[in-house]
Structure 1
Amino acid sequence: MTGAGLSSARLSSEHLADVVSLVDDEQWELPSACAGWRVIDVIAHLGALAHEAVEPPAPDPTLPKNRERYHDLRVDERRGWSHAEVVDEWRDFTPRQLEILESAQEPARAGQPVEVPGLGTYPRHLLANTMAFNVLCHLRHDMLAPDGPLPFAVPEETDGLVAPAVAFMLAGLPQMQGPELAATVAEPLVLDLTGPGATTVTVLPAARQDGPLTVRPGALGATRISSTASDFIAWGTTRTPWRDQCRITGDTSAATPFLDCLDII
């Protein structure tokens, strides 16, 4: 997924740039589908991520350890900015972020472990998938209708767009909630995702007490959770209720605690 993540991040960023050029001042102030954030705040978030990728801030132990609260803090810092200032930061730093992610695909660096505070540790090349996920999710699920307020159209989703975003989510699944999520899985749960970005993996119980879950390719259990990959991006991040978008076959009582707890950031 190394090159695929970078390609997806670039393409979603191009789609977002097309949308940004259409948004007027009133639309920037509309509430997005990301709770507590206006449409302009979504851009502020993506701009802040890009800025920090290019110019990493000095460690600050006073900052929130919870990743969602950290993102809220960075957005709040920009609430006094004009729309143009927020958009300019995003436009200025996104191309430079993509350049950094491209350099991270070089074989000598691609496999180096990188800790993302509050989210886990990933091989350096997978950071491109992180951006692919962030931009796709915020654009298509928070900003654009039917879930968001903006009435603009973007090209239909493809495997190339969705699969890298889903790959990051699956890499983060065992790490982001740790023992809290692991405690909900007592038997293998097959996650069967269809449509663009389709994949089938099995979430295996932790091998030891307080250990992490394991995500393996293929169907290795009898209980199956099915949805589209695009819907997984929405319900796997708790933007929409999983009950509206998933079909469970097998032992529903085994899958329900996992689905009720899952919240990928």
Structure 2
Amino acid sequence: MTRAGLAAARSSTAQLAEIIPQVDDGQWELPSACAGWRVIDVLAHLAALATEAVDPPPPDPTLPKNRERYHDLRVDQRRGLAHIDVLDEWRHSTPRQLDLLAAAQEPPEADEPVEVPGLGTYPRHLLANTMAFNVFCHLRNDLLAPDGPLPLTLPEPTGDQVAPAIDFMLAGLPQMQGAELTATVRHPLVLDLTGPGATTVTVHPATDPDGQLTVTPGADAPTRVHSTALAFIAWATTRSPWRDHCRITGDPAVATPFLDHLDII
């Protein structure tokens, strides 16, 4: 199971809880590094995710199918709230979300497939990695300097925090963009991610016209994309240009179309 994902979710959540009391009213209104969202809106997003995890809303076919637009909608619904109300929702729902994720590590529920609309289908236990990714990415990339507006510091990220986030990203990579991304991979290519959270995987083309990319452990292709795992979280979510962080060895024409289109949500 992904108990490491649960530990990472708890760790990054605890660090976010340490940051919150240091943010003043003016800083909550600053633009975050997540386009269109203020600092308080990032917390509203995390609060909305936690609330929906513990109290799922009924299906609504009128809601946006695009996951990013869906997140925007949930944030917009909270824009009129006072800062304290947003923070209270986050503080109320997040511990309950973590409890649910802990329960999801136990069989037989752990391996049940769960559809996350707009993002794909995952074993239930991997949802802990989803939270680990969300909290880590928003905290480190969108809120804190140097990319975010908050001049506050935390200890350097550890591999125990980064690796579960990377695991979710690699699980989502074949699913989130569907045929658009699949079409960019004609030959296998390697992602060689170093530093905290280091891993090496090979992205393989789909084997049939309606198939998906597959991601396997290890290096099984001559063309390689080299990056740190920390930078991967930034550029694979299009927060930062991949060219600022990646070095390609082998045939650039194999890797470049994939890198130009990759956008993990």
TM range, smaller chain: over 0.9
Counterpart-to-counterpart distance in 2, 1:37 and 1:70: 14
Aligned to 1:111: 111
Aligned to 1:209: 209
Question: Is residue 15 of structure 2 the alignment partner of residue 15 of structure 1?
Answer: yes
Aligned to 2:81: 81
How far off is 1:210 after superposition? 2.7
Question: Is residue 237 of structure 2 the alignment partner of residue 237 of structure 1?
Answer: yes
Counterpart-to-counterpart distance in 2, 1:151 and 1:247: 30
TM-score (norm 1): 0.99
Aligned to 1:93: 93
Matches within 5 A, 1:28-177: 28-177=28-177
- Unaligned stretches of 5+ in structure 2? none
Letter in 1 for 2:6: L
Give secondary structure in 2 for the equivalent of 1:107: coil
Letter in 2 for 1:245: H
Letter in 1 for 2:146: P
Counterpart-to-counterpart distance in 2, 1:169 and 1:130: 8
Give secondary structure in 2 for the equivalent of 1:72: helix
Letter in 2 for 1:220: D
How far off is 1:21 after superposition? 1.0
Letter in 1 for 2:72: D
How far off is 1:211 after superposition? 1.1
Give secondary structure in 1 for the equivalent of 2:171: helix
How far off is 1:141 after superposition? 0.3
Letter in 1 for 2:228: T
Letter in 2 for 1:229: A
How far off is 1:155 after superposition? 1.6
> Which structure 1 residue ranges, 4+ long, deviate > 6 Å from structure 2?
none
CA RMSD of aligned residues (A): 0.6
- Unaligned stretches of 5+ in structure 1? none
Counterpart-to-counterpart distance in 2, 1:244 and 1:110: 38
How far off is 1:156 after superposition? 1.1
